Amino acid sequence: MLQRTLLGPGFFLLRCCFTVMRIPEETIEAIRAAVDIVEVVGEYVSLRRRGANWFGLCPFHEEKTPSFSVNPRLGIFKCFGCGVGGDVFAFIQQIEGVNFAEAVHMLAERAGIPIPESEAETDDPRPALYHALRFAARFYFEQLSHPETGRAARAYLKHRGIQPESVRRFGLGYAPDAWEALLQAATAAGIRPEVLEEAGLILPRRERGGYYDRFRHRLMFPIFSHTGRVVGFGGRLLASNSEQPKYINTPETPVYHKGRILYGLYQARQALREQAEAILVEGYTDVITLHQAGITHAVATGGTALTPDQARLLARYVRRVVLLYDADTAGQQATLRSIELFLERGLSVYVVPLPPGEDPDSFVRAQGARAFQAYLQRHRRDFVTFYYERAQQLGQLDTPEGEAEVARTIVKAIGRLPDPLLREPYVRRAADLLRIEPVRLLEILEAQTSSPVSTKPAASPTPPTPPPATSTWHEAERMLVRLMLEEGKAMVSFVLGHMALEEFTEGPPRQLVARLLEQYEDGTINAQPFLDGHYGPELQRLTIEALMEPYEPSQNWERKGIAVPRLRDRAYEAAIDAMMRLKLQRIDELIHQLKKEQLHARHNETRLREIMARLSHILQLRRQIERRTFLNPELLPGS
């Protein structure tokens, strides 16, 4: 059973060829080589380096401790919480919700590698929509600079103090006062009306067929995705005497999802990362005025209440959010909800109440950028103070019952912070303000956080080990595969000289080892085809798992109470240990099986004797394995 099989018969395996849709393999490899996976992922996840890997909070599931990691050398990412993993293309596919071809395009654009047009065609409607939207943005921009057509819009911008530099930065434009201006220009440029309609740019006429422009005589604010594509528009009415709504927006389309976009994010992204802080405002012009004044880390929800998706999007960039709070409007409830959403994502939240009747735009225009920034500094309140002051203003603290209720509300908000260490200073702050013993508040907090009511849905258990996706193979197999991939031919020869292929778990794990054997026979061990998915998605997934251990091997073993030195230093020692564990595992499975048979055969004496004999032989074998007598000294390195 434990015979040497390195040079044994070939094993049948399904050859799984992954042809990539019409985009040449060389182009894909060129893109892969040109982009840095840490940089790409880093635009969505704040990553920190630890050893060979970079770690961060997984963007694909809610978590509080990082189990998401990126390995730049291998060009792969892996989450040990939810199991997703893959290369840079897989990452873009999943985070952007695009197909493979589209992900290749996005990364090609980034790397400056051209993809021939004819090869790039797919059934995906989105490239056509992006094209139409880009065309429209350029068209509106040109109309704005047109001496005649754009006059009224330019006058408005001047009146609002929006400078030409900002017009360019935000790509502002003007939709002419006509029914078919865009429609005609776009169709003349070869864009089909159906595409324009799907992009939300034109509307079908109710009678007599045909279409008309959705945006007419409006100042146009293109809305960019965080990757810099135009995905929609907001249009502000220029006529003052119209019945029309002041602002209209692109409806939901395959590329525009209002709840997942933050206006100004693309322009703000650099500043957001540098300052680790965002200023959240409401309107387009607020963002533009603030950026113009040098406050370039301002973004807007675009006039709607903050969504969980938007909070998540912002949490990729910053650790701290400053909410501008307009005490006049009905937006109070929305502000409270926003605070909760940000707290849940572990962001620090500060609130700045604006002077009555002011919005950021009017404030900056009236008093200048410096005054505004000074105001932000002076008036920013942490969320606990904000809750308290608001309650005070509303007279909620006037009765003992009201006071208790406010205490509960504040503690509940504190309980949303995922980091227990951060809760403590806020509890102290609240205790000070409410003049309650901190211990009392901590008691309420504890009662709240331990009750199922306050636990958030989809919260992941921490730490996320063992990872759910690895249940298909034994931990020792994962180690052996990793060692063989990392150490190359000598290790493959060593491991497969001691292990039969049948000792590896049937299915993908065994197929993976057989592939390694194949590579061995061809002369070189190479992880890349595994990682690139050339042997199919299952082997790709297993390879990523094997190569991206969530912990350094030494830690891993120490946790399990196994004393094995560091992998890099003594890889063979690690291999021997893993082989031993795997062999013992298989032996124990066999013993279990035989014992079951023994039970069934209790009336068949011959069979019973057979089983007993096998059992005693196997138990002897087990002791040998434990003493490591299975090792062939000839195969040890340096012998």
Among 79, 175, 293, 479, binds Zn ion (CB under 5 A): 79
Between residues 188 and 458, which has the closer beta carbon with respect to Zn ion? 458
Residues ≥6 apart with Cβ < 8 Å to 332:
325, 390
**Sequential DSSP letters for 88-134:** HHHHHHHHHT--HHHHHHHHHHHHT----GGGG--S-SHHHHHHHHH
Instruction: Please report, to the nearest 10 degrees, the dihedral formed by the alpha carbons of residues 338, 344, 348, 353 taken in order.
Output: 20
Q: Which stretch binds Zn ion (CB under 5 A): 54-62, 315-323, 564-572, 628-636?
A: 54-62
> Counting contacts by CB under 5 A, is residue 81 touching Zn ion?
yes
Between residues 60 and 551, which has the closer beta carbon with respect to Zn ion? 60
Between residues 69 and 338, which has the closer beta carbon with respect to Zn ion? 69
| Contact flags string 285-324 toward Zn ion, x per CB under 5 A | ----------------------------------------
Between residues 43 and 180, which has the closer beta carbon with respect to Zn ion? 43
Strand ranges (E), 12-117: 48-50, 53-56, 68-71, 76-79, 85-87
Strands 230-237 and 218-224, sheet pairing: antiparallel
Report how far residue 157's alpha carbon sits from residue 169's, in angstroms, rounded to the nearest whole number.
14
Report how far residue 230's alpha carbon sits from residue 542's, in angstroms, rounded to the nearest whole number.
38
Shortest Å, Cβ 449 to Zn ion: 23
Report how far residue 203's alpha carbon sits from residue 248's, in angstroms, rounded to the nearest whole number.
14
Q: Give burial (CB, 10 Å; 0-12/13-18/19+) of 277.
A: middle
> Counting contacts by CB under 5 A, is residue 58 touching Zn ion?
yes
Report how far residue 91's alpha carbon sits from residue 251's, in angstroms, rounded to the nearest whole number.
28
Between residues 60 and 156, which has the closer beta carbon with respect to Zn ion? 60
Shortest Å, Cβ 79 to Zn ion: 3
CB 532 within 8 A of CB 540: yes
Between residues 37 and 58, which has the closer beta carbon with respect to Zn ion? 58
- Per residue, the 3-state secondary structure of 354-397, as one string, reads CCCCCCHHHHHHHHCHHHHHHHHHHHCEEHHHHHHHHHHHCCCC
Q: Which is nearest to 196 in space by CA: 117, 130, 138, 249?
A: 130
Shortest Å, Cβ 45 to Zn ion: 10
Shortest Å, Cβ 552 to Zn ion: 20
Instruction: Please report, to the nearest 10 degrees, the dihedral formed by the alpha carbons of residues 107, 113, 118, 119 taken in order.
Output: -60
Spell out a b/e string for 176-206, using b for 16 or more CB atoms within 10 Å of the CB, else e. beeebbbbebbbeeebeeebbbbbbbbeeee
Shortest Å, Cβ 81 to Zn ion: 4
Give the H or E element holding residue 626. Answer: helix 605-626
Q: Which stretch binds Zn ion (CB under 5 A): 72-80, 232-240, 424-432, 467-475?
A: 72-80
Site size with Zn ion, rule: CB under 5 A: 6
Shortest Å, Cβ 83 to Zn ion: 7
Q: Which stretch binds Zn ion (CB under 5 A): 15-23, 56-64, 89-97, 590-598?
A: 56-64
Q: Which stretch binds Zn ion (CB under 5 A): 51-59, 177-185, 521-529, 574-582?
A: 51-59
Residue 56 backbone dihedrals phi, psi, to 5 degrees: -165, 180
Shortest Å, Cβ 82 to Zn ion: 3
Between residues 62 and 286, which has the closer beta carbon with respect to Zn ion? 62
Shortest Å, Cβ 550 to Zn ion: 11
Cα-only R_g, the chain: 31
Q: Which stretch binds Zn ion (CB under 5 A): 71-79, 279-287, 396-404, 550-558?
A: 71-79
Between residues 149 and 460, which has the closer beta carbon with respect to Zn ion? 460
Shortest Å, Cβ 336 to Zn ion: 29
Shortest Å, Cβ 56 to Zn ion: 10
CA distances from 499 to 25, 513, 553, 633 (A): 36, 11, 21, 14
Between residues 344 and 577, which has the closer beta carbon with respect to Zn ion? 344
> Counting contacts by CB under 5 A, is residue 70 touching Zn ion?
no
Between residues 216 and 541, which has the closer beta carbon with respect to Zn ion? 541
Among 13, 61, 161, 597, binds Zn ion (CB under 5 A): 61
Between residues 373 and 465, which has the closer beta carbon with respect to Zn ion? 465
Among 82, 230, 485, 576, binds Zn ion (CB under 5 A): 82
Q: Which residues bind Zn ion (CB under 5 A)?
A: 58, 60-61, 79, 81-82
